[in-house]
Structure 1
């Protein structure tokens, strides 16, 4: 039995994840070494060491989730804890939250910044997958089947938006939409849900207006100015995007060489987080970019393939949720780096600096690998049974 279980794991998926994480470590060191010395007056490997410690912790969490039976998460008490815990933690941010970059999105614990919004992404995936799995027999019923999870989604999206963190709020909303689209409910119910979500947003609009000065501050609105015409505002709102273009354009086909970026010398803000792909393009050229995109695409497509093969609704929806989270986050990050959409401050999965993001991503991938193992195990068992009966 153990041999069959070990044989059932998707090692190509595990390899792709850790290749990206290893590559990310190298690029975090390369892109942050100058900033560590000049801005924080510390060792050049300061951010590298912090990311490495986060990766080690995240790897342990990955292994736990990889071997943990995913259907055990369907426990009703655990799902209620996810529901109330997510809302409570986001609420506590407004009292005890640490402000950075104009957003009150972090808790400071033992010198480390923890971003609850990242963990809420995973909570939303598990909660929505579990609820819609339990409601499969009456998912066509709008009041009992389709409605309750939307209330949770709207609440957490509004709470995250009020921090304000519009990028994470958008990603959570899109993850929820992906799971809802694959949950099995009819088009009629989906249209009702969209209208209801808009109605809830209208009800909560006084709360949003109360924080309007933060959400729609001059600094945040300037991102749209910089996005629409960055070169017209290259000394202000368009500064980061213009330097991202310079980094991408300088790299060409093969890049300037690993560690040879010019833009990381104080020209490109947040080079190790939001704009790490610009440094990848500058140092390693289009080949470096294609390496990252190929691995990310492989992970997303593999996740969707697992969702398609899985006969269990809970496992299918988890695979859809994890895949959509990585795909949407990648699209939002690259859209900001290339100027296709306004800059949102969203990191590139597995590659950008950020302990909370890396931990959540590897827990999510451990969960996806676990779903994949059960799918492959059932297939192997079925084939062995068919052979034995011949």
Structure 2
């Protein structure tokens, strides 16, 4: 054997090739964390159906206002563009290992806080309908508070997972309250300054869901719920326009052309729909009778055009999200995934219930949209990303039920609620 041949055999190039293949293999592991199962497939199907319903109804509900603005397809076209962004994001997130989100939790949280601050800078934030909630980047307009909902959930789940002891439970309430309550207060101050009470309520719902599933004792949950209701009531009293919403909700017939107008028209639209509706595209309420028919009150147009059958179908889709989301949360392989899965489920289903509750008169008007159905670009993309994250957690291989306690599981999904009260 020659010296040159010996040197070739001792070359380090094969080692570098092996390292490269190893890095590729690690990326492939993150790209396909598990096989598609029934829960992942079911969530994907429900997401697609809700998105299609939203696109159809956004066109139907917005065509009158859009035509008056000069382009009947304008609102629908923008929503379609946002869907073309959100769907690939959903596919990407659904196929990534959900634990990757722990690496970007801090940058995502910091970025959302920067966005919330920039919105409040004069000349930077975009004002619409009396609120300054948007940032413009050329033709792209985003709402940082929508990003903040996902960022708060992922960041809080990551911090609590780092604080979790080996037995899988966070015994001391201080371990839960110290990162959660200051975060909620900071986000609430920034979002209320826009002002946006509806998103503030949703942020409180997300943080509360995380604390509950992580095992916050029942007495603290009760105290926090009472404090939240008192804060919402105080915010309603100090702001005249919020107080008018409350009085209009309590007795809409007292001022049917003023504070009670929007609710009364929504109820008329729902009643007009009957069992099977007046027909897709045939709504009369969207002809300047129901304000914001394509956003906050799109459910009224659904009830009018598709009737009780169509409205029940939409409710059934969100009920499916609730059922499948809770199944995913219970079977998640580790605490971070379980907390995020429960938080995403509470966020989307809770937002849907708040929106439908305002349209049907069960709750005061809060300006909360119907997830995946109402017109709104940032909301659509953030919701699709959140559902993609839920699908990713569903794809992860679940441990046997007997091993849930040792897998860093969240206490509320193992014990009964009363066990930690």
Structure 2 length as normaliser, TM-score?
0.80
Among 55, 70, 73, the residue aligned to 2:98: 70
Per-residue deviation at 1:107? 1.1
- Between the aligned partners of 2:175 and 2:33, the Cα distance in structure 1 is 40
- When residues 373 and 240 of structure 1 are mapped into structure 2, their CA distance, relative to the original with a 3 A threshold, is same
Q: Which residue of the partner structure matches residue 304 of structure 1? A: 326
Among 101, 106, 109, the residue aligned to 1:80: 106
- When residues 188 and 140 of structure 1 are mapped into structure 2, their CA distance, relative to the original with a 3 A threshold, is farther
Q: Residue deviations 1:69-89, cap 9 Å, x none?
A: 1112222xx333233333222
Q: Which residue of the partner structure matches residue 163 of structure 1? A: 194
- When residues 375 and 185 of structure 1 are mapped into structure 2, their CA distance, relative to the original with a 3 A threshold, is farther
- 1:211-360 alignment runs, 5 A limit: 216-360=238-382
Q: Which residue of the partner structure matches residue 56 of structure 1? A: 84
Q: Residue deviations 1:101-157, cap 9 Å, x none?
A: 211111122234311111111011101111111112172234455412321122102
Structure 1 SS opposite 2:215: coil
Name the count of aligned residue pairs: 363
- Between the aligned partners of 2:135 and 2:310, the Cα distance in structure 1 is 34
- When residues 236 and 370 of structure 1 are mapped into structure 2, their CA distance, relative to the original with a 3 A threshold, is same
- When residues 62 and 215 of structure 1 are mapped into structure 2, their CA distance, relative to the original with a 3 A threshold, is farther
1 or 2, which has the higher helix percentage? 1
1:281 and 1:288 in contact (8 A); partners too: yes
Q: Residue deviations 1:248-290, cap 9 Å, x none?
A: 0100001001111001111111101110010011011001001
Per-residue deviation at 1:216? 4.0
- Between the aligned partners of 2:303 and 2:213, the Cα distance in structure 1 is 35
- Between the aligned partners of 1:187 and 1:65, the Cα distance in structure 2 is 34
- Between the aligned partners of 2:174 and 2:327, the Cα distance in structure 1 is 31
Range 235-244 or range 356-365, more displaced: 235-244
Range 335-344 or range 353-362, more displaced: 335-344
Range 249-258 or range 127-136, more displaced: 127-136
- When residues 51 and 3 of structure 1 are mapped into structure 2, their CA distance, relative to the original with a 3 A threshold, is closer
Per-residue deviation at 1:241? 0.8
Q: Which residue of the partner structure matches residue 94 of structure 1? A: 120
Q: What is the aligned-residue RMSD (CA, Å)?
A: 2.7
Q: Which residue of the partner structure matches residue 173 of structure 1? A: 204
Among 122, 125, 139, the residue aligned to 2:153: 125
Q: Which residue of the partner structure matches residue 18 of structure 1? A: 48
- When residues 109 and 297 of structure 1 are mapped into structure 2, their CA distance, relative to the original with a 3 A threshold, is same
- Between the aligned partners of 2:266 and 2:200, the Cα distance in structure 1 is 25
- Between the aligned partners of 2:163 and 2:218, the Cα distance in structure 1 is 17
Matched, 1:368 2:410: no
- When residues 102 and 215 of structure 1 are mapped into structure 2, their CA distance, relative to the original with a 3 A threshold, is farther
- When residues 342 and 79 of structure 1 are mapped into structure 2, their CA distance, relative to the original with a 3 A threshold, is same
- Between the aligned partners of 2:142 and 2:102, the Cα distance in structure 1 is 26
Q: Which residue of the partner structure matches residue 7 of structure 2? A: none
- When residues 3 and 330 of structure 1 are mapped into structure 2, their CA distance, relative to the original with a 3 A threshold, is closer
Q: Which residue of the partner structure matches residue 414 of structure 2? A: none
Per-residue deviation at 1:64? 1.0
Structure 1 SS opposite 2:207: helix
Structure 2 SS opposite 1:170: helix
- Between the aligned partners of 1:215 and 1:164, the Cα distance in structure 2 is 15
Per-residue deviation at 1:184? 3.0
1:140 and 1:146 in contact (8 A); partners too: no
- When residues 260 and 60 of structure 1 are mapped into structure 2, their CA distance, relative to the original with a 3 A threshold, is same
Per-residue deviation at 1:219? 2.6
- Between the aligned partners of 1:125 and 1:52, the Cα distance in structure 2 is 27
